[in-house]
Amino acid sequence: MNKDYPARDYQEEARDAVMEGFRTGTKRGLLVLPTGAGKNYVACSLMDAYPHKKVLFLADRNELIDQPWASIVDFLGHAAGVEKASQHCEETDRIVVGSIQTLSRRYKNFRPDRWDLLIADEAHLSMSESWQTVLNYFGDHARVLGMTATPFRTDNKSLMSWYEKEFYRKTIADLQDDGWLVPLEISNMGSGIDINHLKIKRGIDGKSSMKARWPRRSNPTWRRSPRSCCRSILNGGPWPSCPW
């Protein structure tokens, strides 16, 4: 890992917890960290801790592919292969960042044992059919780490119906208490737009006016101040050895 990016204490704890989980036999586990906590950093630290393991980092859209690819360059000092649309990885690529949309169509182009570790970003999405197809195809051989800030789904499907264990969790409140994130600020943002004159043809309450259902001002929105991202703790020893 690039020594210009020393790990925070909870990032080291997360990495160690994941490695211990895999070492003791768990094949599919979850890492739950809030937005801004550095999940990509933890992922890169695992890639670094397992220098002989082949890793596939799965993401849902272009932005979430570009970010981990850039993190791998910054933290590990070398580029990763990309499997997305017109881009194809090489057999010699140890680390690959891939689009789930692309891999759900191309997964049979690869051997089921092509990768040793799958990292599923935005793991709350990984219960969908396309994700499950890819994860189950490679997952018989590979360990799977799901990373998410929101370990729940609106359709009430439980992530723990597929993942075996939650390896590690820190909440926003935890990281605020530890000084890594600043407190939330709540603001009532008024739009200044009067929509009382708008009409609807059908409403679930049978009313023809939106006045009874919509206030003049927008609902309160949550705003988070810029997070504290400059504090790091330099107390890490050597990386643990590969657990499997």
Residue 169 is assigned to a structural domain of this protein: yes
Band the pLDDT of 232: cuts 50, 70, 90. Answer: very low
Residue 186 is assigned to a structural domain of this protein: no
Tell me how many domains the chain contains. 1
Instruction: Write out pLDDT tens, residues 186-219.
Output: 888 777 788 787 776 654 444 444 444 444 444 4
Residue 207 is assigned to a structural domain of this protein: no
Report, as an integer, the average pLDDT of 139-153: 94
Residue 72 is assigned to a structural domain of this protein: yes
Instruction: Write out pLDDT tens, residues 61-106.
Output: 777 888 899 999 999 998 899 999 999 999 999 999 999 999 999 9
For residues 40-51, one letter each, b for 16 or more C-beta atoms within 10 angstroms of the residue's C-beta and e for the rest, the string is bbbbbbbbbbbe
Instruction: Write out pLDDT tens, residues 36-55.
Output: 999 999 999 999 999 999 99
Band the pLDDT of 241: cuts 50, 70, 90. Answer: low
Residue 200 is assigned to a structural domain of this protein: no
Nearest-CA neighbor of 221 among 199, 188, 193? 188
Which domain, by its residues, includes 164?
A: 9-177
- Tell me the sheet residues that pair with 118: 56, 144
pLDDT given at position 28: 97
Residues near 88 by beta carbon (within 8 Å), at least 6 away in sequence: 82
Give percent of the chain above pLDDT 70. Answer: 82
Question: Does residue 77 sit in helix, strand or coil?
Answer: coil
Residue 147 is assigned to a structural domain of this protein: yes
Residue 36 is assigned to a structural domain of this protein: yes
Question: What's the whole-number average pLDDT of the chain?
Answer: 84
CATH number for the domain including 167? 3.40.50.300
Residue 157 is assigned to a structural domain of this protein: yes
pTM of the model: 0.76
pLDDT given at position 4: 83
Q: CA 138 to CA 146: how far, in whole Å?
A: 14
Residues near 43 by beta carbon (within 8 Å), at least 6 away in sequence: 57, 68, 71, 119, 121, 145, 147
pLDDT given at position 157: 84
- For residue 100, the one-letter residue type is I
104 contacts 136 by C-beta, under 8 angstroms: no
